Amino acid sequence: MTGLETRETVLGYIQRGGSPTPADRILATRYGAYAAQMIYEENFGQMVAIRGNEIISIPLEEVGGRLRLVDPENGLVNKARHMGVCFGDQ
């Protein structure tokens, strides 16, 4: 025991600006429930994804090894840069 107060920190939340929102928690619950259902059904070799508002499964062969790039001139990327976010390219 160190006598120091410690807390768990999830880096993703800090990078996005703080604690998870209710929407983050609901989405995580939906993903988890769907993943548990996939395990129950022995539906292995798949990943959970979202398309629109529908939770789906996708075969890992369709997504593994594929590189999907984000356009560096995308509006959200530019907005993030103006806010001081570094993408490692500067």
In a domain, residue 14? The reply is no
Question: Which pair of tokens denotes residue 85?
Answer: 């976010």
The residue segments making up the domain with residue 50 are 21-82
In a domain, residue 69? The reply is yes
In a domain, residue 59? The reply is yes
The per-residue pLDDT for range 34-73, each reduced to its tens digit, is 999 999 999 999 999 999 889 999 999 988 888 878 888 8
- Residue pair 70/77 in contact by the 8 Å Cβ criterion: yes
63: phi then psi, degrees, rounded to nearest 5: -115, -25
31 Cβ neighbours under 8 A, 6+ residues apart: 48, 50, 55
The per-residue pLDDT for range 75-85, each reduced to its tens digit, is 888 888 888 88
